[in-house]
Amino acid sequence: IFNLCAYRVNIFIELRPGEGDDKIIWKIDWGDEKTDGSFLIARLDQKWRGGFFSCNEFDAYVPEHIASNLTYSNVWNHLISIHEETPLHLLLWGGDQNYIDFIFDDIPFLYAWRNMEWNARWSTDFRDDLKKQVEQYHFNTYAENWDCRPGVKKSSNINSEFNDVG
């Protein structure tokens, strides 16, 4: 999309028997650039350590005074401190990781669409030029968000699974 590429790399690893962790070291030669890294996996008889988070704010059971102190940096720093102390084997990402409700304010067509009468919304022509505008906005926001998040860079050695549930 937009002359850029996204890659998904599937790695299949047979779990070794026993307890403890195995360190998986990987390298990819992209042609003009090389990338390398590592992550830990649990052996077959080891209890795995994992974490989960979602973008949809905090559970209703988290008291307001606690949730208000959990800023973006605080949450990521906490996650990284846990991982540094006892490395996680898996991090599950739930929800929409590119939370951009403000797209409905920033793109004039979507702003007008949001304010239309209910039935008119579904009969409105969503032209190709508008579709491209929305796709470009979403892609640029995604690239901007993921390129600058220090927590993401620090957590790059945690095996992760993304699950868009919302």
The pLDDT score that the predictor gives to residue 161 is 65
| Pair 45, 18: CB distance under 8 Å | yes
Residues 6+ apart with CB under 8 A from 52: 91, 92, 94
* Cα atoms found within 13 Å of the Cα of residue 47, Cβ hemisphere only: 2
- Rounded-to-integer distance, Cα 119 and Cα 60, Å: 33
| Pair 110, 104: CB distance under 8 Å | yes
Q: How far is CA 123 from the centre of its chain?
A: 33
Total-model pTM: 0.60
Tokens of 4: 């850029």
For residue 121, the one-letter residue type is: R
The pLDDT score that the predictor gives to residue 166 is 43
| Pair 153, 83: CB distance under 8 Å | no
| Pair 98, 141: CB distance under 8 Å | yes
Tokens of 121: 């919304």
Tokens of 138: 């979403």
| Pair 16, 22: CB distance under 8 Å | yes
Mean pLDDT by 10 residues, the chain (166 residues): 69 92 91 89 92 65 73 76 89 68 88 90 90 88 70 69 55
**Ramachandran sector of residue 18 (left: φ over 0; alpha: ψ -120 to 50; beta: rest):** left
